[in-house]
Amino acid sequence: MTVGETLLARVVETGPTADQWRLSLVDIEIDDVAIPAPPILAGGPPWLIPPDDADDADDGAEAVADSFGATVGAADSGPGI
């Protein structure tokens, strides 16, 4: 494993808090496909994008940003002083 590397993991058990989830890397095959992560907001896009789909996600992010009049990757400078 290296910094920034993405690994597939299987959710073995879930609990009411994040520290009660169990993940496993056992029996994960190279050709396994990740299912989409759940959205943070109802009806929104997945909050994690698998690496192979990351380029497609950039297009979706730009479309959402355009609908709000924002720019993807633009820093929010906040209110002026």
- Mean pLDDT of the 71-76 span: 51
| Position 30 pLDDT exceeds 70 | yes
Whether the model pTM is above 0.85? no
* Residue 6 pLDDT level (bands cut at 50, 70, 90): confident
* Best CA proximity match to 54, nearest among 30, 74, 71, 37: 37
- Mean pLDDT of the 40-59 span: 71
Asked whether the beta carbons of 50 and 6 are under 8 A apart, the reply is: yes
Q: What backbone torsions phi and psi does residue 6 show, to the nearest 5 degrees?
A: -105, 135
What's residue 51's pLDDT?
A: 66
* Residue 39 pLDDT level (bands cut at 50, 70, 90): confident
